[in-house]
Every structure is written in C-alpha cells, then in structure tokens.
Structure 1
Amino acid sequence: MSRKLVVKVTAGRDAPERCAQAFTVAATALAAGAEVSLWLTGESSWYALPGRAEEFELPHSAPLDDLLAAIVAGGQVTLCTQCAQRRNITEADVIEGVRIAGAATFVEEILADGVQALVY
C-alpha cells in the first residue's frame, strides 16, 4: 500500500524556486507511484488558469506546465476556495481537472491515515 502525499504550494512568481520545488516533488512522487494531491494557494493559485504555467520560467527546472499536466492527469489538483475568490477565479476559469475546495477538504486529506503533507 503506497502512502498519499499532499503538497500545498503557496509560492508562484514571487518565489520561483520554492514554487518549482513543490511541483517537482509532487510530480516525482506521482511517478514513483504515490497518490498525490497538489493544493494551489496564495500566488500559485494563478497556475490553475489555462496558459499561466507556460509563462513560468526558472533555469534548470522542468517546465511547470509539463509538471502540472502530469499531476492533473495522475493525481488531484485543488485550488483553494478563498484564494480563488480573492483573485476572482471561478470554476469556469480553471484548467479541466482542477477543482476548487476549501480548508475543510484540505484538513480531511491531511488527517487521513498514511498521509504525508508538505507545504512550500
């Protein structure tokens, strides 16, 4: 039985190395066979929108759009409800496969047995 990894990323363009690290760890864990849930919060919320991950650049880092696509395809990607509301992002705006959910859902995920949570 594999463990579940929940990665909460708060950084975006404001802290590109931290942002890229979160996406890289989530995608790597997924490739290793873990169940992965990636939470987009704070400045990373913008990457729930089509085309935004393609704009991210960090030398020697895997393309963020490729990492995000892999996580959407094989895991769960969630945009924080409050973060979405503060940015006027609705469910109609986000990439297909991204859900919007709040703190209760996050807490439920991270308190389940066998879950490892990381925050970047």
Structure 2
Amino acid sequence: MKLSNLSIVAILSLSSSIADAECLPWGPIGFRTAARRMTRGICTTIIGQGAFRPYEARNACQATDNIHWDFKVESLTRDVRSLTLSRCMEYMQIGLRNCQAGDDSSYSDIGWRFVSDANTSMTCD
C-alpha cells in the first residue's frame, strides 16, 4: 500500500482554518488522548500509538515540508510554523524508536500510525 493511498487519523482537534491542509505532521506533545476520525482526504496523525516504516516517514515529511499549521490540542495550544524536513524526520524517527521499544510515556511520545481508508493500520514490526 502506498503512502499516497492512506488517510491518517489524528488525536488533535483541528481548527477549521486548516481543514484544507494536505498533510499535518505533529511534534512531541507528551500526552495521549482519544483519536478522532477526520474528514476523508485530510492527512493527520496519531501521537503515542503505532508507527511507520522509515521510507514512509521520509515520504510524508517531503510531502509536508514548509507547510504552515495552527492547531489546538485540547487545552494546550501550539503554533507550528514552517516545519522543516529535517525536524519532521527527527520527530518521526523518535516516534519509530519509541514504538519499537514499546514506550508511550516519554516526552517524545510520537509513535505514528497510518490508517488506510479501510481503517487497516500499519503498525511497528
């Protein structure tokens, strides 16, 4: 399954101002909350659950480099501006390591799970 065929689910509450964003990567937040299904076609992520393979991380980061986002995570509001490719890759690699180690409690709790349109998840193996 190609990354382009996947839709991604997020634990974040997105404002309507970013509803048209093509893909949304998130940095380390350090907490977990319930995942919420987003509008079909919006590319978002799950923090703290699952993971991905390195080539998928690279492709996802390249597709989202230099895009701007504003988003709110429950009571925590963060503003992410022009996330660089290198920073995106750094976040994703930390998430992959945490997933492989079974660690979902650290500050760098960014395990990412890509979920297909059929809701078939790709988990760490």
TM-score band w.r.t. shorter chain: 0.3 to 0.5
TM-score by length of 2: 0.34
Of Structure 1 and Structure 2, the greater strand share is in 1
> Structure 1 length normalisation: TM-score?
0.35
- Higher relative helix content: 1
